[in-house]
Amino acid sequence: HPDRYRGEPAGGEGGGAQAAHEKFLLIAAAYETLKDEETRKDYDYMLDHPEEYYRHYYHYYSRRLAPKVDVTIVILVTVCAISVFQFFSWWSSYNEAINYLASVPKYRIQATEIARQQGLLNKTKEKGKNRRSKEEIREEEEEIIKDIIKNKIDIKGGYQKPKIYDILLFQILLAPFYWCKYIAWYCWWIYCFTIKGQEYGVEEKLYIVRRYMKMSQSQFDSLEDHQKETFLERQLWIRENYEV
């Protein structure tokens, strides 16, 4: 080893430390080449077929740079990590959305009315009459309103509660099912409206309008009902009317 070599100085019979370093590299390269049965076979093949130098060059570096861990495991771990991050990120966004909706008059008035009908606000005041401060009572009422918005009020679009089967892992696992479902639906559409010539129903009309508008289902669901009624009144499922 060059670091342990204490032989002749440069120019001597042994060649000095530089020669020891070069010989060490040569021995290390030989060991790396012959220690493994596969690389030994590649080396023997190169000796027998020197004209295939570039092929051997490719095999050598493809073997050295190949990942030591199974690619399937790497992909699975990556997908799981992304899915976990995705799920908790959605929950964080959902909680922020609930906090926002609790300040929107439309949802706050509905939630407050439901809470009064169920007597939840009165119970809070009675319960905290002597033991709690006004600030504590207000915070508890706020939590009741948020809980009602989550569970009792129809929230559409991007404010919907996250579902576990919406994360990447489940989307990949359920992809064959979704494809089969889509193909079956598409065949039904062609049969009913192209072959048989049936008239579109309300859902089909809104679906065509949504496709024209290039909106996702959640984006379209977030629209107000009166907007969708306007689409139907104007017959926007007809391409010419939509273009106008």
pLDDT attached to residue 177: 93
Specify the pLDDT at position 186.
93
How confident is the model at residue 7, as a pLDDT?
65
Torsion of CA 82, 84, 90, 91, to 10 degrees: -170
Give pLDDT tens digits for 64-111. Answer: 777 667 778 888 999 999 999 998 988 888 888 888 888 888 778 888
Low-confidence residues of the chain: pLDDT under 50: 128
Residue 122, pLDDT score: 65
User: What is the distance between the alpha carbons of residues 220 and 62, in angstroms, rounded to a whole number?
Assistant: 50
Contact 2, 17 (CB under 8 A): yes
Query: What pLDDT sits at residue 32?
Result: 83
DSSP annotation of 13: S
pLDDT score at 214? 92
Q: What angle do CA 179, 183, 188 make, to 5 degrees?
A: 150
Q: How far apart are CA 191 and CA 185, in angstroms?
A: 10
